[in-house]
Amino acid sequence: MCRAIKTLHNFSPPATNDEIRASSLQFVRKLSGFTKPSKANEEAFNRAVDEVVHAAHHLLESLVTNAPPRNREIEAARAKERSATRFAHVHNGNGIGGERTN
């Protein structure tokens, strides 16, 4: 899945309209292969974003869970830690691919 699309379910406070639109835009960009569509495709692209926003709102309103709401700051810190771990090999002198084998 596209790393730019963030999980929006079960947060306190709930996801904002801007967050839902941003994720929807990333989804449509990924599907279409366009960062910015041409004039010929702009209407279809924007309509798709609006439709995904609408579907995402319905989905988020319909989901249920017994888990306590997640804290945005804690989740952001965890994501930052995962990223640091994932990309540590680039900074430790081993180059891409982790440890060297000779």
Gap between the Cα atoms of 73 and 65, Å rounded: 20
Q: CB count, 10 Å around CB of 70?
A: 14
User: What is the value of pTM for the model shown?
Assistant: 0.74
pLDDT (tens digit per residue) in 14-42: 999 999 999 999 999 999 999 999 999 99
Q: Of 60, 81, 76, give the one whose Cα is nearest residue 9.
A: 60
Rounded to an integer, the average pLDDT of 50-65 is 97
